[in-house]
């Protein structure tokens, strides 16, 4: 990996380079995606079936687009029992963590009879997109469905691509059943997003779409935002390790590569105060890459967006980490909790040598659907909050309103909104 001294210039060059990964940069795909979305909106199933044939080579029809109970039963027969046990163990942790995020309605009453409050309602129907092109991600099924179930969403509609034979990855199906999806449809890409957003004869229209996917999925979610809500426009995976001389170079190297293997556009960055550690990590990376199954993807990712930055001190390293705002941040320093208190921008923060990023991908409980491309400055991990809505509750007694009715009328008249003023005045006009 390239080793660079952290300076104002090298940090800015890195930030500029990382921005090239943002789905917002893919203007040339926008037109293609817009056409797919519009076709599905106007032609419904007919367009969904045509695109599925064109991009996935599958003969999908109204009769077979929805996964049947028999297909799910067959999936259980194909999935290794040990993996099923692991999925069930992971679900226990993921559910337990997300239960802590539950929100409750509250109401506040005052002696004058006023009552104000906030009413929590779960979304009625949510669409969950699960990627299925290059690889299958049953863990993403769990991460997208569990917070929706904990929130109390009425109906969860999942879509995921099928192969040319019309078969969905069995582990994806088993994970969907275990997590509690109500229906699974065999469609992927932009056409799946459009079908969920507008509804077709076969696929129900949803209120919100969540879940990661490739550039077509990401841009389609952006295109339908407003007709439905979306969780985010997820970009390629990324990891940033903050380490000093106390860190184990093999652990650091292995963790960097765990995210580099996701995608040629993934980013793996080490920021360290120790040049000796930088050299050792680079050597360990080289040795690991030679042995790893996805070495081609990893090498492209490292060539494009892999960095080892050597900082003068920990403060400079932390400042750079806050600017990069990585999806995943690992802290492997002498006092990791002290460093954590200074981190403002990161999707998920892994503390210490045994909190390796894949622990979060699969098992610890926190959600692995995280903000990417620097959006951790303003976005948060997928959570129960993404699946609820809030309504404000207002109750005033006559006495309470009488007390302040002139103030409201004064305010309304100041905005020349006399009907607003009248709507208050009318209740006290006999005065
Ligand atoms: N952030 C996360 O939590 C997370 C988790 C898992 C995966 N991911 C990311 O999700 C992405 C998955 O991408 P993927 O491609 O494997 O699966 P995908 O399901 O996102 O996309 C596959 C679909 O793309 C459509 N498609 C393919 N070529 C097309 C074309 N030329 N024009 C229009 N549509 C086309 C097809 O209909 C196909 O079904 C990867 O980038 C991976 O890194 C992210
Ligand atoms: N780390 C990915 C998000 O960037 C999520 C994932 C799914 N499976 C393995 N990893
Ligand atoms: Zn991962």
What is the domain-level CATH number for residue 197? 3.40.50.1980
**Do both 86 and 176 map to the same domain?**
yes
> How far away, in angstroms, is 302 Cα from ligand 2 center?
17
Angle ∠(266,219,193) on CA atoms, nearest 5: 110
Domain boundary among 203, 230, 257: 230
Number of domains in the chain: 3
**Do both 342 and 404 map to the same domain?**
no
Mean of the pLDDT values across residues 319-346? 98
Residue 104 marked as a ligand binder = no
Residue 274 marked as a ligand binder = no
Whether ligand 1 lies within 6 angstroms of the CB of 347 is answered as no
Q: pLDDT exceeding 70 applies to what percent of the chain?
A: 99
Q: Is residue 353 part of a domain?
A: yes
Assess whether pLDDT exceeds 90 at residue 431: no
The catalytic position among 178, 284, 328, 357 is: 328
Average pLDDT, the chain: 96
- Per-residue pLDDT of 28-78, as tens digits, reads 799 999 999 999 999 999 999 999 999 999 999 999 999 999 999 999 999
Using the Cα atoms of residue 176, residue 180, residue 181 and residue 183 in order, give the sign of their dihedral.
Answer: positive
Nearest ligand (C-alpha, residue 265)? 1
**Do both 29 and 133 map to the same domain?**
yes
From first CA to last CA, the distance across the chain in angstroms is: 81
> How far away, in angstroms, is 228 Cα from ligand 2 center?
25
- Spatial separation of the C-alpha atoms in residues 227 and 209, rounded to whole Å: 10
Predicted local distance difference test score (pLDDT) of residue 134: 64
Angle ∠(302,238,332) on CA atoms, nearest 5: 95
Please report which confidence band the pLDDT of residue 235 belongs to, taking 50, 70 and 90 as the band edges: confident
**Do both 119 and 218 map to the same domain?**
yes
Please report which confidence band the pLDDT of residue 133 belongs to, taking 50, 70 and 90 as the band edges: low
- Spatial separation of the C-alpha atoms in residues 292 and 174, rounded to whole Å: 27
Q: Is residue 372 part of a domain?
A: no
Residue 24 marked as a ligand binder = no
Whether ligand 1 lies within 6 angstroms of the CB of 213 is answered as yes
Residue 51 marked as a ligand binder = no
Angle ∠(352,296,142) on CA atoms, nearest 5: 55
Q: Is residue 156 part of a domain?
A: yes
Predicted local distance difference test score (pLDDT) of residue 251: 98
Q: Are 348 and 360 in contact (CB under 8 A)?
A: yes
Task: For residue 343, give both structure tokens.
Answer: 């981190």
**Do both 263 and 325 map to the same domain?**
yes
Q: Which residues of 388-402 are buried (b: 16+ CB within 10 A; e: fewer)?
A: beeeeeeebeeebbe
**Do both 328 and 415 map to the same domain?**
no
Whether ligand 2 lies within 6 angstroms of the CB of 139 is answered as yes
**Do both 250 and 338 map to the same domain?**
yes
Q: Are 320 and 6 in contact (CB under 8 A)?
A: yes
Cα-based distances in Å from 131 to 126, 137, 168, 361, 413 = 16, 7, 11, 15, 55
Assess whether pLDDT exceeds 80 at residue 217: yes
- Per-residue pLDDT of 3-33, as tens digits, reads 999 999 999 999 999 988 877 777 779 999 9
Angle ∠(130,371,6) on CA atoms, nearest 5: 135
Please report which confidence band the pLDDT of residue 213 belongs to, taking 50, 70 and 90 as the band edges: confident
Q: Which residues contact 341 (CB under 8 A, 6 or more apart)?
A: none
Assess whether pLDDT exceeds 80 at residue 405: yes
Q: Is residue 376 part of a domain?
A: no
Residue 129 marked as a ligand binder = yes
**Do both 58 and 94 map to the same domain?**
yes
**Do both 226 and 239 map to the same domain?**
no
The label of the residue with tokens 């806050």 reads 322
> How far away, in angstroms, is 242 Cα from ligand 3 center?
18
**Do both 53 and 168 map to the same domain?**
yes
Assess whether pLDDT exceeds 60 at residue 342: yes
Check if 261 is active-site: no
Q: Is residue 370 part of a domain?
A: no
**Do both 40 and 181 map to the same domain?**
yes
Whether ligand 1 lies within 6 angstroms of the CB of 262 is answered as yes
- Spatial separation of the C-alpha atoms in residues 382 and 231, rounded to whole Å: 7
Strand order in the sheet with 328-332: 3-5, 306-310, 267-272, 238-243, 328-332, 348-351
Q: Estimate the crossing angle of helix 275-291 against helix 295-305, to 10 degrees.
A: 150
Whether ligand 2 lies within 6 angstroms of the CB of 367 is answered as no
Angle ∠(285,289,291) on CA atoms, nearest 5: 125
> How far away, in angstroms, is 141 Cα from ligand 1 center?
14
Residue nearest to atom 10 of ligand 2 (CA): 361
Q: What range defines the domain where residue 274 resides?
A: 3-22+235-365
Q: Is residue 377 part of a domain?
A: no
Residue nearest to atom 4 of ligand 1 (CA): 212
Domain boundary among 230, 249, 276: 230
The label of the residue with tokens 């199906």 reads 173
Q: Is residue 381 part of a domain?
A: no
Q: Is residue 378 part of a domain?
A: no
**Do both 42 and 63 map to the same domain?**
yes
Domain boundary among 347, 365, 383: 365
> How far away, in angstroms, is 266 Cα from ligand 2 center?
11
Check if 328 is active-site: yes
């Amino acid at each position: 990996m390239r080793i660079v001294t952290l300076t104002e210039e090298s940090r800015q060059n890195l930030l500029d380079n990382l921005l090239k990964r943002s789905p917002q940069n893919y203007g040339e795909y926008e037109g293609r995606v817009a056409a797919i979305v519009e076709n599905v909106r106007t032609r419904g199933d007919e367009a969904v079936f045509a695109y599925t044939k064109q991009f996935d080579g599958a003969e999908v029809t109204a009769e077979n687009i929805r996964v049947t109970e028999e297909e799910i039963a067959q999936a259980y027969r194909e999935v290794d029992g040990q993996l099923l046990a692991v999925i069930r163990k992971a679900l226990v942790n993921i559910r337990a963590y997300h239960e802590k995020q539950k929100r409750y309605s509250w109401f506040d009453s005052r002696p004058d009879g006023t009552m104000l409050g906030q009413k929590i309602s779960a979304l009625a129907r949510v669409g969950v997109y699960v990627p299925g092109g290059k690889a299958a991600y049953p863990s993403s099924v769990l991460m997208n469905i569990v917070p929706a179930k904990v929130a109390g969403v009425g109906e969860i509609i999942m879509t995921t691509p099928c192969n040319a034979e019309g078969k969905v990855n069995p582990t994806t199906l088993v994970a969907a059943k275990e997590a509690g999806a109500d229906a699974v449809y065999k469609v992927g890409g932009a056409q799946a997003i459009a079908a969920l957003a507008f509804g077709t004869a076969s696929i129900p229209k949803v209120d919100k779409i969540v879940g990661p996917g490739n550039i077509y999925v990401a841009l389609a979610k952006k295109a339908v935002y407003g007709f439905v809500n979306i969780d985010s426009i997820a970009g390629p995976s990324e990891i940033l390790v903050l380490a000093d001389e106390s860190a184990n170079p093999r652990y650091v190297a292995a963790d960097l590569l765990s995210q580099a293997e996701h995608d040629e556009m993934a980013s793996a960055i080490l920021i360290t105060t120790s040049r000796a550690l930088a050299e050792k990590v680079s050597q360990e990376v080289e040795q690991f890459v030679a042995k790893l199954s996805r070495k081609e993807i990893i090498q492209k990712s490292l060539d494009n967006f892999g960095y080892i930055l050597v900082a003068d001190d920990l403060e400079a390293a932390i400042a750079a980490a806050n600017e990069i705002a990585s999806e995943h941040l690992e802290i492997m320093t002498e006092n990791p909790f002290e460093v954590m208190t200074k981190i403002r921008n990161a999707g998920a923060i892994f503390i210490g040598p045994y909190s390796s990023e894949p622990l979060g991908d699969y098992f610890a409980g926190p959600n692995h659907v995280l903000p990417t491309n620097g959006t951790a400055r303003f976005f948060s991990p997928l959570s129960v909050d993404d699946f609820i809505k809030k309504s404000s509750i207002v109750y005033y007694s006559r006495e309470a309103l009488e007390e302040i009715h002139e103030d409201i009328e004064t305010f309304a008249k100041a905005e020349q909104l006399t009907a607003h003023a009248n709507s208050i005045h009318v209740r006290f006009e006999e005065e």
